[in-house]
Amino acid sequence: MTATMRWLALACLLGMISQPAVAGTGHELATIYSQPDGKTASGELFSPHKLTAAHRTLPFGTMVRVTNLRNGKTVIVRINDRGPFTKGRIIDVSPAAAAQLGFSDLTPVTLDVVPATTP
């Protein structure tokens, strides 16, 4: 088991991932973000057209299924940045991901790590 897999298993056990969000609690909210300088914490250029996101602790490259609890829409994003740094927010998604999720400000969400596929 790789270090990333161990970390993800521990995060799931500790309730950091896949915990249902409760609308109105302010603890599991997604928002839309952009990078004015164009660089993400992973070093790649930010693109509002890619399905990417920022998370405080998940490793770069982690694929995460984000579900909008208001309308049931889902999208799979790749973590390539750090954030959000505002209390009550769990993930910042790119404009393209927000469009697929059907929101334009804040929305309650759940997150599920998508297992890596092996060749």
Q: What is the pLDDT of residues 53-95, one digit of tens each?
A: 999 999 999 999 999 999 999 999 999 999 999 988 999 999 9
C-alpha–C-alpha distance, residues 18 and 11, integer Å? 9
Residue type at position 79: I
* pTM: predicted TM-score of the whole model, two decimal places: 0.75
Domains of the chain listed by start with CATH number: 3-113 (2.40.40.10)
The terminus-to-terminus CA distance of the chain in angstroms comes to: 16
CB 98 within 8 A of CB 104: yes
Structure-token pair, residue 31? 């928002």
